[in-house]
Amino acid sequence: MITQIKGRCIHLQPNVAWIEVHGIVYEVYISLNTYKVLQQQPETPLYTALFLQPNQIRLVGFTTVEEKQVFLWLLKVGGIGIDKALTLLSGFSVNELVRCIERGDVDRLAALKGIGKRVAQRIIVELRGIIPKVIAEEQPSMERDAIQALQQLGIAPKEAEKRVKKALKKRPKDLEHLIRLALRGDL
């Protein structure tokens, strides 16, 4: 399983990026949100999900763990495949999408191309109250960046979040200080 890819984006379209890693180029399907980030920062690491289909292999990439988690939740809804899930993530930010689902905003979801009223209703019925509330609440960027840094160092997501929240109580002066405090873990 490929869970993250770090390299340089050498070709970019709104729905696909070619990421070069040590001479190997991976075709990664992306949302418009990821596209916008890669336009500005072509060496942004991508969190990925790999799908083996009868006639192809698809690697899907996201700039945040939250976007990947919401994508995987969307795939659990009947009638939602990779393309529709990416359409939903392209039409909204992760937080907007989760809020639409939690509020039951069928019309807003159905307004996206390829997402009809029935599919929008199914998404709401199957996911309302299930997608973790943590995703719906915007984390400050320093906190989010520290959590991601700890995860990249091999610390489990829940443990990383717990350590960062504890370290924030010490009022770190910057991201580097926050990460150092969180790594100590003996706060």
Q: How far apart are alpha carbons 43 and 41 in whole angstroms?
A: 6
Q: Comparing 61 with 167, which gets the higher pLDDT?
A: 61
Q: Give bridge partners of residue 27 from the DSSP assignment.
A: 18
Tens of pLDDT, residue by residue over 109-165, are 999 988 999 999 999 999 988 876 545 454 556 787 888 888 888 888 888 888 888
State the Cα torsion 18-19-22-23 to the nearest 10°: 10
Its pTM surpasses 0.85: no
Per-residue pLDDT at 59: 96
Tokens 């696909």, residue located:
16
Could you give the angle at the alpha carbon of 60 between the alpha carbons of 89 and 40, nearest 5°? 70
- Burial degree of 97 (CB within 10 A; 0-12, 13-18, 19+): buried
- How many Cβ atoms from other residues are within 10 Å of residue 31's Cβ? 26
pLDDT tens-digit readout, 6-44: 999 999 999 999 999 999 999 999 999 999 999 999 998
Q: What string of DSSP letters covers 57-88?
A: EEEEEESSHHHHHHHHHHHTSTT--HHHHHHH
